């Protein structure tokens, strides 16, 4: 099976009915790309930008971020690169950035909530992203979006940042702005978010739907992305994407769980973003599908 996955790695994936399934990769740091050919994927579906905000280090400045984003996009060689803005908090505390002492950090100031509460920090990231987008297919993705007003606020900030860059004479472009769908409220209300794309974060969507934390082993049995309730929220998100004619993908760990691949295809997903090491196995699992 390993040999088959290895040979399939660089081939495009198709469903039995001929539909192309885009397989993208998730990267947590530029190191993840070392020794990997971009030919194994149709793009990068998730860059977890937290790697830039390392504990004990000063916050990365605009130039450091710009260089990191350009380096990742250059690797992708023209393929789309989805860079998620800082997703600190919850299971990703960053000393000096996230707030201490929350009784339940998963329900606290995390993800986009935190970025909107720290506009000086958020602006630096948006500036670096708008500049890096000039020569690369970069898309900005917002984590932990819960209500449309948050997307509106981030979108307005991006407009402001781009206008400032243009006024300064700094070359830039306003990249597409999409949202992670990882809070049940966002999945249920996906149609009401004027996002340029949706990407399902099954890790958080599952824990919030099943009320079972992703990091508590005792409730791991309940933390199942294949539960019908979670699949229903995914199906709704796919439906919203179709209705609004914008792309929908999934970048949570469920996309790389081979037993779940048929279910994800079943809810209508045609873009899966997985860790680079799982690309071949996921393509093989898609090739094995008998129906669809
Ligand atoms: C998710 O929640 O599924 C996701 C992709 O984001 P993270 O695991 O980084 O929270
Ligand atoms: Mg998440």
Count of beta carbons in the 10 Å neighbourhood of residue 146: 18
pLDDT of residue 2 exceeding 90? no
Q: What is the pLDDT of residues 142-193, one digit of tens each?
A: 999 999 999 999 999 999 999 999 999 999 999 999 999 999 999 999 999 9
pLDDT of residue 1 exceeding 80? no
Between the CA of 202 and the centroid of ligand 1 the distance, in Å, is 7
Of the candidates 221, 226, 141, 220, the residue with the CA atom closest to the CA atom of residue 186: 141
d(CA 251, CA 78): 20
d(CA 274, CA 185): 24
Active site includes 251?
yes
ipTM value, please give it: 0.99
pLDDT reported for residue 5: 92
Out of 101-105, 192-196, 265-269, 277-281, which region has the weakest mean confidence (pLDDT)? 101-105
Catalytic residue among 41, 172, 251, 271: 251
Distances from the Cα of 3 to the Cαs of 39, 179, 272, 287, in angstroms?
17, 36, 21, 14
Work out the pLDDT band at 57, boundaries 50, 70, 90.
confident
pLDDT of residue 291 exceeding 90? no
Count of beta carbons in the 10 Å neighbourhood of residue 58: 9
Between the CA of 53 and the centroid of ligand 1 the distance, in Å, is 17
Pairing of strands 177-181, 198-200: parallel
Residue 91 corresponds to which tokens in the numbers above? 């299971």
Work out the pLDDT band at 245, boundaries 50, 70, 90.
very high
d(CA 125, CA 44): 18
pLDDT reported for residue 278: 98
- Percent of the chain past pLDDT 90, that is, above it, reads 95
d(CA 131, CA 150): 23
Instruction: Give the residue-averaged pLDDT of 253-259.
Output: 98
Of the candidates 233, 234, 276, the residue with the CA atom closest to the CA atom of residue 256: 276
Of the candidates 236, 230, 277, 238, the residue with the CA atom closest to the CA atom of residue 254: 230
pLDDT reported for residue 84: 98
Residue 238 corresponds to which tokens in the numbers above? 């796919």
Q: What is the pLDDT of residues 106-127, one digit of tens each?
A: 999 999 999 999 999 999 999 9
pLDDT reported for residue 96: 86
pLDDT of residue 67 exceeding 90? yes
pLDDT mean across residues, the chain: 97
Ligand 1 pocket mutation, candidates 48, 203, 264, criterion most atoms within 8 A of CB: 203
Query: SS3 for 82?
Result: strand
Distances from the Cα of 251 to the Cαs of 97, 158, 164, 202, in angstroms?
25, 23, 32, 7
Assessment of whether the complete model's pTM goes beyond 0.95: yes
Between the CA of 269 and the centroid of ligand 2 the distance, in Å, is 18
d(CA 158, CA 194): 14
Count of beta carbons in the 10 Å neighbourhood of residue 34: 8
Answer with the residue of higher pLDDT: 96 or 80.
80
Find the distance separating the first CA and the last CA of the chain, reported in whole Å: 23
């Amino acid at each position: 099976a390993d040999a088959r996955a290895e040979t399939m790695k660089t081939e495009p994936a198709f469903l039995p009915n001929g539909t192309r399934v885009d397989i993208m990769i998730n990267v947590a740091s530029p190191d993840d790309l070392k020794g990997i050919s971009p030919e194994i994927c149709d793009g990068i579906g998730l860059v977890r930008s937290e790697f830039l905000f390392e504990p004990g280090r000063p916050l990365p400045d605009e130039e450091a971020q710009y260089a990191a984003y350009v380096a990742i996009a250059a690797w992708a060689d023209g393929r789309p690169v989805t860079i998620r803005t800082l997703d600190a908090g919850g299971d990703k505390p960053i000393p000096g950035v996230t707030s201490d002492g929350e009784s339940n950090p998963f329900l606290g100031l995390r993800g986009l909530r935190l970025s909107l509460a720290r506009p000086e920090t958020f602006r630096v990231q948006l500036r670096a992203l708008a500049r890096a987008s000039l020569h690369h297919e970069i898309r900005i993705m917002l984590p932990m979006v819960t209500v449309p007003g948050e997307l509106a606020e981030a979108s307005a900030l991006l407009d402001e940042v781009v206008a400032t860059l243009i006024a300064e004479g700094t070359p830039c472009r306003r990249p597409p702005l999409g949202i992670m769908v990882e809070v049940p409220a966002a999945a249920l209300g996906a149609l009401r978010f004027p996002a340029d794309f949706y990407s399902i974060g099954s890790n958080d969507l599952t824990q919030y739907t099943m009320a079972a934390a992703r990091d508590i082993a005792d409730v791991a049995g309940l933390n199942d992305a294949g539960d019908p309730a979670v699949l229903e929220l995914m199906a709704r998100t796919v439906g919203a994407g179709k209705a609004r004619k914008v792309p929908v993908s999934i970048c949570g760990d469920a996309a790389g769980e081979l037993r779940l691949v048929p279910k994800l295809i079943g809810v209508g997903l045609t873009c899966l973003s997985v860790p680079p090491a799982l690309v071949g196995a996921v393509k093989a699992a898609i090739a094995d599908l008998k129906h669809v």
